[in-house]
Chains A and B, each alone.
Chain A
């Protein structure tokens, strides 16, 4: 005897309606009332879009997966500096981010002026800005600077923070000593004449000594700087709220409030922008550019010191030959990649710097897309039938844009001239680890693909100088050119900016000619802003000035 369900007699629809009702009820129990949820939804849209110009709150969707730790050397790389570091703090020198038509230059920050001694080029004197106070009211003066430097440079100081020192270390490697002269003057002595010091100092930010001493280990939860915005609150993984510093020495921001939200998934960031949850999205997916434009969003692009190259292995194999390296550079269809693949979110790179930058060399012949020339060069170098090589490339990672598709594009280009590239994709952190250990000894690797900032002129010395050849530095390809070394040494010792740029320009030309890298593209720093965000100037920089921004 099988089951005998009297229930079969029940009118099914009655039962179904009942269950449907239960479902609705359960959904309400979960959603706190269906009607409420719907009503709340429109209310939220109202609060973020219907602000009628009064609510000066800017909400930014960052690419980072978490809130940058707001210590004086923030985490989350340059994005951390962009939205937290340079908003909360200042350095002795700051970036001038007010112009979009020229690369960001260095301007006075907490130091009003500086000079090097006429007799001793290693001795720098910084005259500090007066009447500046930290957000907690602590006055900014020479003691605050010494305190900040002790914190990252003086292991004997009780305020020394080894990990922070590790973060900041490379920026201070040329600093020999520092001392207070008077309340508003300090001196820094460098190891040898070193004109790039100012660039290094942009990353050295100053927090309130009182606050640091008071909070101790907990300081990152209560950061206090001198910057245009003050810290209000922070929820791990969720948001950081900053408010305007009315007394900012550089002029108070127009915004009342700045909210930073980490949204690491690009499509999620896009959705948040489209639904009005954020006003500003860093690096939306490139394929969304047209759609966003037609919906009235402001698409911001501008070149900035960034490059997406292949760092070639010059020690052995085919890449030793400059003609092979040039051939590869001629083989790449940079325009096609920039426009077709990346929807205009990048621009061709034919030397380390982009056209318009002070260190860009107009004399260098730009690499065009010329497969025939590439084949000819390869033939001259003794590879008429091409060769096989392996590239190590990242799967993702900051500044790498769309690495797999871009690498496949390059692979296709190189294949067309006979260079058969095997792509090995490696997770970003693993790739970085591998990179700083040089090219693998156990297998033939032709190049690393790695995205790099070219903000500071020390870029030239660290990646290409003979003295920086691995393991002494990170010139892992082993590029060496005495003429180049000479130019860099001159630039390093030249304190006149124009003359220094001239040396670097010439260095750029040598790099373009010698092609130790395959130059591919410069990222254009894509971001999308809601139509109501006004007054933002997209600078030629990794960073952003938010003091001019307002909401309409």
Chain B
């Protein structure tokens, strides 16, 4: 197991290097000069050149990449061009917020998908399963952005039950307040994944229910809940795997959702940084997300290996 993890960790390095090169080049190709975000529009070319030199943007591209990478390896992600703050100071709190939102959405989607998916697999012909099926199809088709606005319209503006924006009521902080602010963004983020994950759980579970050992378990006279435990245990590696992959989708939809709910996450930060050509922030942000992804995949694989003795011993 340890060697499995170590091997996978070593494999991360070329992946991340590749990501860093792509991100670096992408931003160089994109039109737009970060200097514009700093100087007023009427600044002269000399003033622009001075700022450019100050930011190291006058050096050859390879040198810029080398300098950047060298710093990154030492944990220094540089300073934001527009915000004059260390990138880590901007990204880490934002990353934390995104993780809170994405994890809440993932857990919500996971639990709903599990309950609904298992139910639909057990009773494929029931009317409730048909209803769930329709809802999950609809949720896949509904853009998160729309869902977010509809949720805000109902729960914030009309009913006034839940706040529509931010992470905290202005000036206050606290877990209860945070959770209240989390509900709508979580629902909006989880929505499309719930549909996909429900269908996936349903097909996984109904596949398992067709297996002989389930019949054998029934023939043994064990209780229904014991059988359900076997079903879940067998479905879990696949379900967790897909959940892990859905994290990507959740992260992607959280960017949009973050904008609608003014959730101060990493998606917002990167989105804004792209608009302002704040290269250090975008580079570091994408790198952080790439690392998160690779780590997540590693965790999913490790969990899968831990849960399935056939994989573990192979």
Give B155 Cβ to nearest chain A Cβ, in Å: 8
B84: CB under 8 A from chain A? Answer: yes
**CB contact under 8 A between A272 and B180, given known A16-B128, A66-B83, A220-B84:** no
**CB contact under 8 A between A30 and B186, given known A5-B122, A277-B166, A429-B277:** yes
Interface residues of B in 206-234 (CB under 8 A from A): 209-211, 214-215, 218, 224, 227
Cβ of B119 and Cβ of A15 under 8 Å apart? yes
Cβ of A15 and Cβ of B122 under 8 Å apart? yes
A6 to B215, alpha carbons, bound, how many Å?
A: 9
B271 contacts which of A26, A61, A65 (Cβ < 8 Å)?
A: A65
A428: CB under 8 A from chain B? Answer: yes
A interface with B by C-beta (< 8 Å) = 1-8, 10, 12, 15-16, 19, 22-23, 26-27, 29-32, 36-38, 40-42, 44-45, 47-48, 57, 59, 61, 65-66, 69, 71, 75, 162-167, 169-171, 173, 220-221, 235-239, 241, 257, 259, 261-265, 267-269, 271-272, 274-278, 427-430, 432-436, 452, 458, 462-463, 471, 473-474
Cβ of B37 and Cβ of A429 under 8 Å apart? yes
Cβ of A277 and Cβ of B36 under 8 Å apart? no
B175 contacts which of A32, A69, A432 (Cβ < 8 Å)?
A: A32
B4: CB under 8 A from chain A? Answer: no
B interface with A by C-beta (< 8 Å) = 30-33, 35-45, 47-48, 50-51, 54-55, 82-85, 89-90, 93-94, 97, 104, 107-108, 111-112, 115-116, 119, 122-123, 126, 128, 149, 152-153, 156-157, 160-172, 175-177, 179-180, 182-183, 186, 209-211, 214-215, 218, 224, 227, 259-262, 264-265, 268-269, 271-272, 275-277
**CB contact under 8 A between A15 and B41, given known A30-B108, A66-B83, A433-B31:** no
- Can you name 23 A-B residue pairings with CB atoms under 8 Å? A7-B122, A23-B115, A30-B107, A31-B179, A32-B176, A37-B162, A59-B170, A163-B84, A166-B54, A169-B39, A169-B43, A237-B97, A257-B171, A263-B165, A271-B149, A278-B170, A428-B275, A429-B32, A429-B36, A429-B37, A436-B36, A458-B42, A473-B42
Cβ of B39 and Cβ of A167 under 8 Å apart? yes
Give A287 Cβ to nearest chain B Cβ, in Å: 14
Cβ of A275 and Cβ of B156 under 8 Å apart? yes
A2 to B55, alpha carbons, bound, how many Å?
A: 69
Cβ of A473 and Cβ of B171 under 8 Å apart? no
A59 to B166, alpha carbons, bound, how many Å?
A: 12
Give A217 Cβ to nearest chain B Cβ, in Å: 8
Cβ of A162 and Cβ of B50 under 8 Å apart? yes
Give A530 Cβ to nearest chain B Cβ, in Å: 13
A238 — nearest CB in chain B belongs to which residue? B264
Cβ of B85 and Cβ of A69 under 8 Å apart? yes
A484 to B157, alpha carbons, bound, how many Å?
A: 54
Cβ of B32 and Cβ of A264 under 8 Å apart? no
Which one of A221, A276, A429 has the highest number of Cβ atoms from chain B below 10 Å of its Cβ?
A429
Contacts of B262 in A (CB 8 A): 261-265, 268, 272
Give B69 Cβ to nearest chain A Cβ, in Å: 22
B110 — nearest CB in chain A belongs to which residue? A26
Contacts of A238 in B (CB 8 A): 166-168, 264
Contacts of B55 in A (CB 8 A): 163
Contacts of B172 in A (CB 8 A): 47
Give B54 Cβ to nearest chain A Cβ, in Å: 4
Give B51 Cβ to nearest chain A Cβ, in Å: 4
Cβ of B107 and Cβ of A237 under 8 Å apart? no
Contacts of A430 in B (CB 8 A): 30-32
B123 contacts which of A12, A165, A171, A434 (Cβ < 8 Å)?
A: A12
A275 — nearest CB in chain B belongs to which residue? B156
B43 contacts which of A31, A42, A170 (Cβ < 8 Å)?
A: A170
Contacts of A173 in B (CB 8 A): 44, 47
A427 to B30, alpha carbons, bound, how many Å?
A: 11
Contacts of A5 in B (CB 8 A): 122, 209, 218
Give A90 Cβ to nearest chain B Cβ, in Å: 20
Cβ of B210 and Cβ of A170 under 8 Å apart? no
Cβ of B104 and Cβ of A30 under 8 Å apart? yes
Cβ of A432 and Cβ of B41 under 8 Å apart? yes
Cβ of A236 and Cβ of B264 under 8 Å apart? yes
A326 to B48, alpha carbons, bound, how many Å?
A: 35
Q: Is the interface of A mostly helix, strand, loop or mixed?
A: helix
A41 to B260, alpha carbons, bound, how many Å?
A: 19
Cβ of A7 and Cβ of B224 under 8 Å apart? yes
Which 8 residue pairs of A and B lie closest in terms of their CB atoms, listed nearest first?
A237-B264, A166-B51, A41-B161, A32-B179, A26-B111, A259-B170, A275-B156, A65-B272
**CB contact under 8 A between A434 and B31, given known A44-B163, A59-B170, A261-B165:** yes
Contacts of A59 in B (CB 8 A): 170-171
Give A82 Cβ to nearest chain B Cβ, in Å: 16
Give B314 Cβ to nearest chain A Cβ, in Å: 28
Contacts of A264 in B (CB 8 A): 259, 262, 268, 272
A271 contacts which of B104, B156, B186 (Cβ < 8 Å)?
A: B156
Cβ of A75 and Cβ of B165 under 8 Å apart? no
A261 to B209, alpha carbons, bound, how many Å?
A: 52
A265 contacts which of B93, B160, B260 (Cβ < 8 Å)?
A: B260
A31 contacts which of B83, B160, B183 (Cβ < 8 Å)?
A: B183
Cβ of A433 and Cβ of B33 under 8 Å apart? yes
A259 to B171, alpha carbons, bound, how many Å?
A: 7
**CB contact under 8 A between A38 and B261, given known A30-B186, A166-B50, A170-B43:** no
Cβ of A432 and Cβ of B43 under 8 Å apart? no
Supply 18 further A-B pairs (C-beta < 8 A) apart from A277-B163, A429-B275: A3-B209, A3-B214, A26-B108, A26-B115, A57-B171, A61-B165, A66-B264, A69-B85, A171-B40, A239-B168, A261-B166, A263-B165, A264-B259, A271-B149, A278-B165, A428-B275, A433-B36, A463-B42
**CB contact under 8 A between A241 and B171, given known A37-B179, A166-B39:** yes
Contacts of A166 in B (CB 8 A): 35, 38-39, 43, 47, 50-51, 54
Cβ of A3 and Cβ of B47 under 8 Å apart? no
A427 to B277, alpha carbons, bound, how many Å?
A: 11
Give B282 Cβ to nearest chain A Cβ, in Å: 12
Which one of B84, B85, B97, B172 has the highest number of Cβ atoms from chain A below 10 Å of its Cβ?
B84
Contacts of A471 in B (CB 8 A): 45
Contacts of A10 in B (CB 8 A): 224
A47 — nearest CB in chain B belongs to which residue? B169
B155 — nearest CB in chain A belongs to which residue? A41
Cβ of B268 and Cβ of A71 under 8 Å apart? no
Cβ of A277 and Cβ of B164 under 8 Å apart? yes
A340 to B122, alpha carbons, bound, how many Å?
A: 57
Contacts of A165 in B (CB 8 A): 50
Cβ of B42 and Cβ of A474 under 8 Å apart? yes
Contacts of B211 in A (CB 8 A): 3
Give B101 Cβ to nearest chain A Cβ, in Å: 12
Contacts of B275 in A (CB 8 A): 427-429
B83 — nearest CB in chain A belongs to which residue? A69
Contacts of A40 in B (CB 8 A): 176-177, 180
A1 — nearest CB in chain B belongs to which residue? B215
Give B202 Cβ to nearest chain A Cβ, in Å: 13
B160 — nearest CB in chain A belongs to which residue? A45
A433 contacts which of B32, B97, B126, B264 (Cβ < 8 Å)?
A: B32
Contacts of B164 in A (CB 8 A): 268, 271-272, 275, 277
A542 to B41, alpha carbons, bound, how many Å?
A: 17
